[in-house]
Amino acid sequence: MLSYELTEEQKILRSTVRDFAENEIAPVARELDDKEMFSVELTKKMGDLCLFGMFVSEAYGGTGMGYISYIIAVEEIARVDGSQAATVAAGNSLGIGPIYYFGSEAQKQRYLPDLCSGKTLAGFGLTEPDAGSDAGGSKTTVKQTSTGWRLNGSKIFITNAANPMTSVTTVQAVSGKREDDKKEYTCFLVPAGIKGLTATEMHGKLMWRSSNTAELFFDDVDLPEDAILGKRGEGFHQMLKTLDGGRLSIAAMGLGGAQGAYEKALAYAQERRQFGRPICKNQAIAFKLADMATKIEAARNMLYKACWLRDQGKPFEKLAAMAKLYCSEVFKFTATEAVQIHGGYGLMKEYDVERFFRDQKLLEIGEGTSEVQRIVISRYIGC
């Protein structure tokens, strides 16, 4: 049966997260952005709201609310601030996800309760200086020793991997060669603070300036045998599956950001008067707003369908790539038009559309560029 009605639980969730975003995040978002400051306080408050572990079963400290609820939460945070939405999205899809879906029972029991409560955060170590879209170009290596494994290499642009709350990072490394002579990839859970690991915060970012982004260096990091995530050689598969789910949260950030930019532009157009009337009464402005509203509605329907498919255990990967691509580009369109509607004021930091305009760009790049999404989609449709 086809239904577009959210459950009462999901309606309450949206209202609760929206109130939190407007009352707790909005008043400090601009200051945190200016100072490039990650907020432990806000992250713990988001943990208190149960915004981490939303798709994780209660047995490991999650709420088991599913992907539609999770995406609604990310959407509502992103409607106000992309940086805090990034903390939630990466904390769930990239931090919790690999451990929940691929970890051993002991690994789940060790890490998930604190991650799901928001007491700690986890990183996702895939990208390297020479391995972005080409994840197969990874140069980080791991070699077996008499007591376990020794990790060497580096990662870059890793969210939630260098702050006081970081407890662990999932790291993909080259662990040898397969029978077909291609690289073998294995993932490991690397605890924060382990000897040989250097985690450095990255600053000077255009966007997500109050989201924690790290560069990681591994210099003879010795790991025990049980640090392997899943089985040896499954790393590349695990990373791809993690990115499939991550696309849903990035799409939610695009949708929420677009909604926020649209609402700011609409309010400004209703208040700003030129030539004796509100500028929203001018057809050129009204049509911009109409196009924004139409694209946002289409984006929401696509994303929610992808999440419904995942919750139902049905194939969702193609639609996730489509939603990630489309929601990112809708945000780009909406943020650009919102700045245009604001005119010169849209270029000033005292107006939130300036921050939306900057934050948008990452969504066309992170977790698979728009170009990579088109490659993924084209393969699904048989090209």
Instruction: Find the catalytic residue in 271, 354, 367, 371.
Output: 367
Q: At what angle do helices 40-48 and 82-89 cross, to 10 degrees?
A: 60
Q: How many CA atoms lie within 13 A of 156 on its CB side?
A: 10
Report residue 62: phi and psi, to 5°: -85, -175
Q: What amino acid is encoded at 56 in this protein?
A: V
**Distance set, CA 284 to CA 72, 267, 269, 291, 340 (Å):** 32, 16, 11, 11, 11
Tokens of 347: 């270029």
Tokens of 121: 């955060």
Which residues, listed in sequence order, are joined to residue 180 by a DSSP beta bridge? none
Q: Is 206 left (phi over 0), alpha (psi -120 to 50) or beta?
A: alpha
Tokens of 268: 């400004």
Tokens of 137: 């170009």
> How many Å apart are CA 269 and CA 248, to the nearest integer?
31
> How many Å apart are CA 322 and CA 258, to the nearest integer?
16
In 3-state terms, what secondary structure has residue 140?
coil
> How many Å apart are CA 261 and CA 266, to the nearest integer?
9
Q: Residue 137 carries which DSSP code?
A: G
In 3-state terms, what secondary structure has residue 200?
strand
Nearest 5°: CA angle at 244, between 150 and 60?
70
Tokens of 228: 């392997």
> How many Å apart are CA 184 and CA 173, to the nearest integer?
8
Nearest Cα to 88, choosing from 212, 261, 214, 227? 212
Tokens of 57: 């079963």
Which residue is associated with the tokens 């409560």?
117
Q: Residue 289 carries which DSSP code?
A: H
Which residue is associated with the tokens 């997500």?
208
Is 367 tagged catalytic? Answer: yes
Tell me the catalytic residues: 367
